[in-house]
Amino acid sequence: MRGTTSTPTSEASRPPWAWPIPATGWPFLLVAIAFAIYAFIPSALAAHMLAIFTRFGIAPATVVLIGALFGPAQVLARICELTFARNLNPLWTARFSLGLLVAAFALIALTPFSALVAAAFAVMYGMANGLMTIARGTVPLSLFGAGGYGLLVGRIGGPFLVVQAVAPVVLAYVVERASDDAGLMVVAAFAVVALACFAAIRPAKEI
């Protein structure tokens, strides 16, 4: 019979995480929810982060320089991922990305705020976002396989785009009604919940 029958050798050579599971039930819901929740973070911060840093007392010119660190940090993270973690389970890339982002918010919360702290946050956030951009494509593929991949990404991308659209307005409301600190706490909470969702997902070989 013709087809792509797998052999013991080819199966043994596959990494433990490269076994697709059905794109249904809790695994799919957790992936979709995690990415949708994450969508809030870059959309909200892109609209408000620099203004918040300015209100925290950093000079506008310095804030602009801090904002310029975001792009190179994304590129650096992608180069590091390609160089050192290309064979890593993409799920762990997503988990590491969100862990780094949670650490960035912890840095702001637990240390006296300064331009140096803001710069470190921008770099950590940029690296996290760079890795998550990769994970958006690789996590669904590694978990659910290539069959129907386009439709699968579309199903995940719908909620992502909705949350992305409303995030700046929601954060503006929180900042206006409460404070900049409260706004950052809300964004940090989204990062923690997204990390928890990714932590709860188990590839087929771990189930």
For 93-147, write each residue's pLDDT tens digit. Answer: 999 999 999 999 999 999 999 999 999 999 999 999 999 999 999 999 989 888 8
- In the chain, where are the structural domains located? 22-201
CA dihedral of 112, 193, 199, 94, whole degrees rounded to 10: -70
Q: At what angle do helices 60-67 and 115-144 cross, to 10 degrees?
A: 30
The answer, yes or no, to whether residue 8 has pLDDT greater than 90, is: no
Q: Which CATH class is domain 22-201?
A: mainly alpha
Whole-model pTM: value is 0.86
